[in-house]
Structure 1
Amino acid sequence: MAGRDLRALFSSNDRGMTTAEVFTNRQAQWDLVAAALAEHLEHIAAPGFDVEDLEAPRTNVLVFHGVGGIGKTTLSRKLEAALAGTGRPAQWTALSWPGAGRLRPVRIDLARAAGGDFEQLVLTIRAALADVGRPLPAFDVALRRYWEHQHPGEPLEEYLRRGGLATRFGKAMPQQVQSALADVAQALLLPGTVGSAAGQVTGSLVRALRERRQTVRALAGCARLADLLEAEPDLETLSFYPHLLAWELAQLPAGKQVVPVILLDTFEDIGDRSHRDLERLIQRVVWLMPNCFFVVTGRSRLQWAEPALQGQLDHTGPAAWPHLAPTTHHAALPRPRAALAAGDPAGGRQILVGDFSTEDCDDYLARRLETDGTPLIPAPVRQVITERSHGLPLYLDLAVMRFLELRRTGHTPGPDDFRHDFPALIARTMADLTPDERTVLRAASLLDAFDTNLATQTAGLPYQAPARRLTERPFVRENPFALWPYHLHGLIRSTIRDADDQSDDRWTSADWHHAATRALAALGRQWAAGPDRDRLLLVGCLRQGLALAADFRLDLDWLTDAAYAYISDSVWEPLAPPAPAGHPAEQWLASPVGALVELLSTLARRQHEHRSRTADRLAVLAHAALLPDELQEMALYYLAKAQRDLGRSDASRRNMQHVADLNGRLAPAARRGLAHLARLAGNFPTAHATVSALGWPGRHHRVDGDIWWPHGDVHRAATAYAAARDEADHHGVAGERATSQTQRAFTLAFTDPTLADDEIDLAEQFLTGLDLKATTLTLNLAALLRDAGTNPAVDERAEALRTEARAAGLISAEAMLDLTLAFHHAVTDDDTKLATDLERLTALAGTGDYPYYADIAHFMAGLPLPSASTAQWLTDEATVRARWRHLVQARRDR
């Protein structure tokens, strides 16, 4: 549906341009309204329904809430038009069920700017019912008495005319009120002159009701009429009169019956959560009119179902409002009609109005401004606006006005003109927040996610109440299963952080820096106080802490210890935040925190890229020397590991030795690396002599297993790997546990395929959720080795693994693959393919690494060595040869 957009029309001299107020989609919300209304009509038509029952739970409310500018008011207006039959959007299906024609929409804007009050709310509802064509005497007599008491000398007709109600609903209501008064006076046989005075009529009516006279039997059925007429006619009493209106609606004959659908818009403007006087009166109206349906739109959820409000409101708790209990779901996922049934606590009717989809945003922008039926805003511009809007309609509207403003200056708007934030969004967002809530909102914008404690500490407040209130706002989204359950709407957050805020309490750059410092410190405290080895908490704190430190150039502080905790588990979750806005990547990286981000992200990415790329990045970091000594050591150690993986053993040995000599946190790991390098060169005695000095920090059991399996002593190696796995499990290091178990599976795959099956399954379980490329390749090699000699697809599978190993730059994995193929071809006695395997392994030995792999392949095949072995075995060569030959014969026998 589209109407004239006057603001846009008066923003341009282009008479060929057409403007429209575009209403996009919201089909899900309409479906929810239709389902709720159908259930309501069934409920009030049921035999047990009693409009005077003041104790039954109320199910006559549906709430749409959402951030400012999300389109709640537009939705309210479209609902009014659709229910009135004057403008249903084409995509909304018509209400076809019985009773739909009885619906009477009454939209009331509660915004302070609209100038309404409680009196006007009650009068609006009554004026909207004038079209029933008859007086509603119980209510009308009480209203006339109230009016003469509170507005002496002011005709009701004049008030309605001045407030616009006469224009909106016609002039029949005052006449009906006067007619009701006259009819009652006549029934009581009062003189005509007395009949015009509401006070005398009501006094006589009360006496008649108390005496149960037949002349007023039509009104005698309203049990509480006499009590209301006797009460002081003030605003408090007026708030109970809707009960009389509901009763009168229930008395209408079948042909005249109507069901008011009262749409209360801008509900957030009726007060605040410390002053609920007006909210109490409005809630009373809703409670006393159970045969009417209320659709509330506002920024916040209704709290009526919270028992803690007892005393501030008349009716509170989930028993009173079963559909308003906290079961909010997104409107994009409407519940079926059955879930909206009265009394079904799962059918929550507090609906968060969602953002527009990408398609809806583009449709809105394309149809908002047109020239000869063609969208005036070009597609590339619409794409940028859509991306930056996060689906918020207010942003789209502001972008349209910016487009027209740029055209007015003679500039042709392009995509770069809309990489822009609108300070107006801040004003709309903060309009109804307290000063403390505004402080917390700004503080929370520094955080990807938060809880009340973290937001309070970042804001620098001594109490959590403002943060708790803020979490109830619709621009704060909740994920109860996340580490920190709350996060800000994306557009609200980016605008508060980046826009030129002109509000009176805007923050200076120093304010932002102080808040970021508090946030970083608070994250560090949360991590330090959390459970030991809580990986989720560690990664969450690191991600947020790195982003804060990068944005505001903060000291690394606890981030150094957290970085070491991160690498200790060898899990490698992605960590790197994007470069801060306004900072070139080169400038950002030329700082300690930028270098740390690059270091950790490189370590994580190495599981998905060639090791040469990893080595290059780490070499740049090590050369730049931007990191403090403790972290410089980390860069150097992992550079040495990447060099070893690439076969650059001399460079790796130099760097490993340097880290070991520093005697820092990674010295045990570096000594393990030196032992690995000695083993790679075939110097088993040197590697073995190192084992006893490594201990758990140097992963001594795994190094021991790495030494013994090349000797063909696979069971001794498997025992060492099991000890390494169990030790890692004891220390809670998931990556080391998976790696040790995978090595055990690979080693035992040379022996018994059935036993290897179980070990491979266990390794797969340990690898779940981890990102370890080399270990995953080793596990695939174990499966290949298990099938050696029995599965004809081994060669085909091996080539796929070779491609994978080369893409990762893992020389060690390719070497193990060739050894696995040599075992397979020795078992199958395939001399041709075995010759190819020997050729590859001999070429590898020529590099100085893995010279013993070629020896082992000859031992497997029972072939003599072409020249004397350079490997320095721990046992005599004949024993090693015999072990490997035995493994091949055993596989042949199977």
Structure 2
Amino acid sequence: MNDFDRIFDPQYTATELFTNRVDEHTAFTTALQHHVNRVLDGSATLGVTARRNVMNFYGVGGIGKTELSRRLESWCVGGSADPAGWSEVPRLDRPLSTVRTDFHGSRTVNPADIVLRLRAAAAGGRRRFPAFDLGFAAWWSLARPGMPLPDLSAGGFDVREQITDTLNDILSDVGAGFGVGPLTARTGIRIVEAVRENRLRSRTVRECTPLLHVLNQARQDPSEYVAATLAGLLSWDIENLSPSRRPITVAFADAAEYIQGEDRTQERLFNRIVHLTPGTLWVVTSRNRLDWEAPHLQQILPASGPHVWPGLRLGAQHDPRQHLVGNLSDADVEQYLRAASGVAGTPELPEGVINNIRAGSHGLPLYLSLSISVARSLRGNAMDESAFGGPLPELATRVFANLPRDERDLARAASLLPRFDEELIARASGETVGDAHRLCRRTLVTRDDHPLFPYRLHDAVRSAIAHEPISNPGAWAPGDRREMAAKLLTALRDRSDALLGNSERRLDVLEMAASLCAGQDMAAHWLADALSDIPGFAKTADRLPNPGSTTWVGQLSGIYEAWRRGRGRRDRISYLEDFLAQPLLPDIRRRASLRLAYVYRDGDFDDALRVLRALLAADPDSELVRYQVARTLRTMGEYEELGRHLDRYPLRDSTTSQRIRSDLAFDRGFLDEAILGPTVRAGILRAQGEHRVALENESSALWRRTLHDRSTLQECEAVLADADRFGEVLSMRTALAAKVICLRRERAAARVVVDEAQSLIDAKGQRTGWREWVSRGVLALYQEEPDAVEELHESWLAASRRWSPNYQLVDRVFVFAGYPAHYESRRVSPSEAPAVIDERWRSIIEKLVCP
């Protein structure tokens, strides 16, 4: 059975027509045979400079590239009947696996997803990939702590279980064990430390030199580029299999034009993966040719130049190479139209209609599908030849106009989005999900593989609807589109709220909302708030529309640019300062100023206070800014100024007011009251779904209870596990320090926790801080180890920081040990002398360190 037999199926469309695609199939078959030979003879490896693992089918939109890609994939695994003229699937001595990556409607590359799919495709009972599994688990733990590995199965193998088994086998040397639950930051650190210290007997660890480099980079910055580099570890594992066990994998990457942006940031990730997988044949479909062979891209793409990609050069003669996908021939178009005429709900097509469609189609399969849809809508009516053969946008508009009214409104709603699902457009438009279901089976709609939004309108159809004449019955004016966009934003907000526990899927929703704002030039303040809650600002930056100065969302994206491309603290400050020098919308200026203040406050309190006070002057009623100014003044020890600030700008929210009072009580040594504020605030924040801010309050409450000798190991572990799940390193360090104090009577057990805390500090590239000085000082004093106290004191003096209430506590621990005070005590309350507070703290410390 061939394609022309299938056109009698009413659901069959011309975009699936593959007459005159024999040349593309022949090229793919040749490329596949050459690739298999290179895999077997060992020339498709990382060690060979020239990469011959990419073929690209490119051409204009609507030419049928996506269907070509799908058909090639289905054909090479024997999943469907062969189109007419296609040869038989080549016989291999092993299974052939495929991977599909669809970039339609997305501006970003998800390297972790791609490399994990490649890992799944290569899975097999006798195949193990220890270097990749170690590297991927470490990266995932550090980049996405608390999220379980995706549940992937391939060829009867549970890939997640295989990765877990690999970790258990290799890391059993150091007593580590892993289940199938979420990997956390502590997991990643344990893996990195075990490999760095050469504590494993595995041959992989000894021989795979790149593994340590990947782990070190993941420890410093678990970026998407590191995730893309994991592809090289998978290739290393595969190349260490015997030739007879090496898998044959073909990866199909569709609609690559979506990631070929001007700055090529996302294409850089894709280029990295493809370059590091020479044993995988990549079949790319795109509107544009790949220019990776160009020498001038050496500073932009990690792998470029004619010596790396000889097959991508113009004029290359041997497959795999680049192929322009041509239009269907006039003969094939006519054959299709005559075969479709009078069957499967299509009326008889007069000769003039056939001629007009053939002339207007220029061989585009999409044009033929839309023309047949128009013909079917005229069933039973006289068929005017002049209704056929017009431009593609006009034809798309005609098909759209022939839809039932309810479906037209659904299509109008869908046209505002790059992707959608049935429930989303039905809810926003007020139509039924049944109507949405019927629309999604129309020729206008394409279905792709996306976890949340599997449907999309072809770009030509979206453009036609956007330019629909207002004279058409039911057509939307610009105000109508904006009203629908607002309803879609509301539906997306509800979807986002329902995904609070899944940052990856929630970011998919927020990306869609940002795209909607960009398309309709709208502002959505809830979107800005939600984006700030997503872990990893660098990852969020990649998912937002391009920065721009003329729209709200463009300016919002501009804030996140400060976290792109591995910028450190000083670079972020410089960028945000320059950003704020530009004309900005008031809301964006406020958000950018707050971000700048938070970055400043990591070390430059005076600058942070300056920015916050400017914000307060502009908006004296802002509860958030009032609270942030108060926190900053307290951290600086400006207690008199804090009193004046609170007199002028009292905190009206009971939890923020109580938190500040509790902080001041802590500074005076009244620990009962000090514990109350963060405890109450944490509970309220948890109820509101603000888990990360709640966690910061919970860790503060734990620390204060610990100093009051009222916490347990179980409470420490609970906060530690939650902080580990969210990747909140400072809260993890607080919980570990509290745990050291709880274990101060058991020196060996406490030292284990001290070492774990130091590993965390080293792994994240941070410095020892007040948590560690206090907890280790209490442990040394309790264990009566004067040499350890002396060593701690010397290192503390060498690294002492600017005064803060927490560093004042460090100083008090060493004063208790007999050393002179490093800081002068501050007067927290006008009615209480600093000496009284010092004595109160001395009693607290004495209870902790005296057996």
In our comparison, the structure showing a higher alpha carbon Rg is: 1
TM-score computed with the length of structure 2 as normaliser: 0.50
Structure with the bigger RCO (C-alpha within 8 Å, sep 6+) is 2
